Amino acid sequence: DVKVTQSSRYLVKRTGEKVFLECVQDMDHENMFWYRQDPGLGLRLIYFSYDVKMKEKGDIPEGYSVSREKKERFSLILESASTNQTSMYLCASKRTGSYEQYFGPGTRLTVT
């Protein structure tokens, strides 16, 4: 089974802190994605990566950056957390040539 894991299920941070959200997949997928989910808005893509050290902006990249130094790991970075970044963050991975994205369990981030 494909497994996508995220470093924390729940996280509480203070405004202005630097926040790292980690995502690891164990199926050698080339493509990885970070989404945020807010009530009434569905899932919105923040960034995605189609190869190591490659990244592309999604629909809402402002205030975020990403890092992909190894194929299995994709990190989302909030350089200076703000209260409007309080949200559920979901990571996903996908093999090139297939259609299904596999999601991690999500990290519910609260910024106070």
Half-sphere CA count of 15, side-chain side, radius 13 A:
4
- Phi, psi for 102 (deg, rounded to 5): -105, 130
Nearer to another protein, 15 or 110 (CB): 110
Q: Residue 74 and residue 83: Cα distance in Å, rounded? A: 23
Question: What residue ranges bind another protein (CB under 8 A)?
Answer: 9, 30-31, 33, 35, 40-45, 48-50, 56, 58, 88, 90, 92, 94, 96-106, 108
Q: Provide the minimum distance between the beta carbon of 110 and another protein in the complex, in angstroms, as a whole number.
A: 14
Nearer to another protein, 62 or 99 (CB): 99
The full length of the chain comes to 112
Q: Provide the minimum distance between the beta carbon of 80 and another protein in the complex, in angstroms, as a whole number.
A: 26
Place of tokens 């945020």: 36
Q: Provide the minimum distance between the beta carbon of 85 and another protein in the complex, in angstroms, as a whole number.
A: 18
Two tokens at 17?
A: 């802190």
